Amino acid sequence: MIKRLLTGILASTLTITLAGNITIASAALPSYGEEWENAVTTEQTVSFTDVPQTHWAYKYIAEMVNRKVISGYPDNKFRPNNTITRAEFAKIMISASGIAPKKVNYSSFSDIPATNWASPFVEAVKDYMTGYRTADGKYIFNPSAPATREDVAVALVKLKGYDTNRLPDQSTIEAMFKDYAGISESAKSYVALAVENGLVSGFQDETFRPQATITRSEATVMLWRAYQYGNDNKDIGGGTPVTTPTTTTPNTTTPGTSAPETSTEQPSASTPAAKFTVETLVGGLGTGDVDGPVRTAKINQIDSMVVDKNNNVYFLDSQKMKIRKFNSSNGTVETFKTINQNFNWDYKDADGNTKHFDYKNLTPMKLAYNNANGKLYLAAKVSARSIIYDITSSVSVVTYDLNHEEVRYFDFIAFPDSQSVLYGVTGVHESHVYEGQLTQAQVEQVASSTSYKALDLSNYYGYAPVAGAFATNDNLYVFGRSKMYILQLFPVKVDKVSEYEDITLDSATGYNGKLYMTNIGTVYEMETGGSMTTFINEDDLIYKDGTPIKKMKQISFDNNGNVIFYDDDSKSIRRINI
The DSSP letter of residue 253 is S
Residues 346 and 212 in one domain: no
The DSSP letter of residue 561 is S
Residues 209 and 288 in one domain: no
Higher per-residue confidence, 114 vs 376: 376
pLDDT value, residue 37: 59
Is 235 domain-assigned? Answer: no
The answer on pLDDT for 244 being more than 50 is no
The answer on pLDDT for 450 being more than 90 is no
Residues 292 and 224 in one domain: no
Is 260 domain-assigned? Answer: no
Which of 174, 204, 229 represents a domain boundary (last residue)?
229
CA 32 to CA 17: how far, in whole Å?
31
CA 359 to CA 344: how far, in whole Å?
5
Q: Are 359 and 339 in contact (CB under 8 A)?
A: yes
Residues 425 and 369 in one domain: yes
E strand or H helix that includes residue 120: helix 119-124
**Distances from the Cα of 8 to the Cαs of 13, 15, 16, 26, 154, in angstroms?**
9, 11, 13, 18, 21
pTM of the model: 0.61
pLDDT value, residue 127: 84
Residues 119 and 215 in one domain: yes
CA 510 to CA 316: how far, in whole Å?
19
Is 240 domain-assigned? Answer: no
Mean pLDDT for 198-223 is 86
Q: How far apart are the first and last CA of the chain?
A: 28
pLDDT value, residue 19: 30
CA 459 to CA 178: how far, in whole Å?
62
CA 30 to CA 396: how far, in whole Å?
71
Put the strands of the sheet holding 572-577 in their side by side order. 541-543, 276-283, 572-577, 563-567, 552-557
The answer on pLDDT for 464 being more than 60 is yes
Is 245 domain-assigned? Answer: no
Collect all residues with Cβ–Cβ distance below 8 Å to 187 and sequence separation of at least 6.
Answer: 150, 153, 154, 210
CA 352 to CA 370: how far, in whole Å?
32
Host domain of residue 529? 276-577
Residues 196 and 315 in one domain: no
* Each residue's pLDDT tens digit, 385-440: 899 999 999 999 999 998 887 888 899 999 999 999 999 998 877 889 999 999 99
Is 342 domain-assigned? Answer: yes
pLDDT value, residue 233: 39
Residues 219 and 284 in one domain: no
CA 30 to CA 34: how far, in whole Å?
6
CA 526 to CA 425: how far, in whole Å?
22
Output the CA angle 156-162-164, nearest 5 degrees: 105
Q: What is the chain's length?
A: 578
Residues 221 and 298 in one domain: no
pLDDT > 90 fraction of the chain, expressed in percent and rounded: 36
CA 178 to CA 576: how far, in whole Å?
39
Residues 336 and 404 in one domain: yes
The answer on pLDDT for 540 being more than 80 is yes
Is 423 domain-assigned? Answer: yes
Q: Are 35 and 60 in contact (CB under 8 A)?
A: no
Q: Which CATH number fits the domain that encloses residue 534?
A: 2.120.10.30
Collect all residues with Cβ–Cβ distance below 8 Å to 109 and sequence separation of at least 6.
Answer: 122, 126, 131, 139, 140, 141, 143
* Each residue's pLDDT tens digit, 21-49: 333 333 455 666 566 555 555 678 888 99
Residues 397 and 520 in one domain: yes
Higher per-residue confidence, 455 vs 570: 570
The answer on pLDDT for 520 being more than 70 is yes
Which of 205, 229, 253 represents a domain boundary (last residue)?
229
Is 253 domain-assigned? Answer: no
Mean pLDDT for 173-183 is 88
DSSP codes joined into one string, 153-184: HHHHHHHHT--TTS---HHHHHHH-TTGGGS-
Mean pLDDT for 271-289 is 79
* Each residue's pLDDT tens digit, 314-329: 999 999 999 999 998 8
Helix and strand numbers (H, E) in the chain are 8, 31
HSE of 404, CA atoms in CB hemisphere, 13 A: 25
pLDDT band at 245 (very low <50, low <70, confident <90, very high): very low
pLDDT value, residue 377: 98
* Each residue's pLDDT tens digit, 550-572: 999 999 999 888 999 999 999 99
Tally of domains in the chain: 2
pLDDT value, residue 509: 96
**Distances from the Cα of 397 to the Cαs of 151, 214, 316, 406, 530, in angstroms?**
56, 63, 18, 19, 35
Q: Which residues of 479-493 are buried (b: 16+ CB within 10 A; e: fewer)?
A: bbbbbbbbbebeeee
pLDDT value, residue 415: 97
pLDDT value, residue 32: 62
pLDDT value, residue 63: 87
* Each residue's pLDDT tens digit, 140-172: 898 988 888 888 888 888 888 776 666 667 888
Residue 92: how many other CB atoms lie within 10 Å: 19
pLDDT value, residue 40: 55
The answer on pLDDT for 272 being more than 50 is no
pLDDT value, residue 307: 97
* Each residue's pLDDT tens digit, 47-95: 899 999 988 888 888 888 888 888 888 889 999 999 899 999 999 888 8
Say which range, 1-5, 159-163, 445-449, 470-474, has the weakest mean pLDDT.
1-5
Say which range, 103-107, 231-235, 437-441, 455-459, has the weakest mean pLDDT.
231-235
Which of 164, 196, 229 represents a domain boundary (last residue)?
229
51-56 contacts, C-beta under 8 A, 24 or more apart: 51/78, 51/80, 55/80, 55/217, 56/217
Residue 572: how many other CB atoms lie within 10 Å: 25
Mean pLDDT for 442-471 is 78
CA 164 to CA 188: how far, in whole Å?
11
Higher per-residue confidence, 182 vs 225: 182
Q: Are 239 and 11 in contact (CB under 8 A)?
A: no
Residues 223 and 306 in one domain: no
Residues 201 and 314 in one domain: no
Is 255 domain-assigned? Answer: no
pLDDT value, residue 275: 74
CA 116 to CA 103: how far, in whole Å?
10
Collect all residues with Cβ–Cβ distance below 8 Å to 413 and sequence separation of at least 6.
Answer: 366, 368, 377, 379, 388, 421, 422, 423, 469
Mean pLDDT score of the chain, rounded to an integer?
A: 81
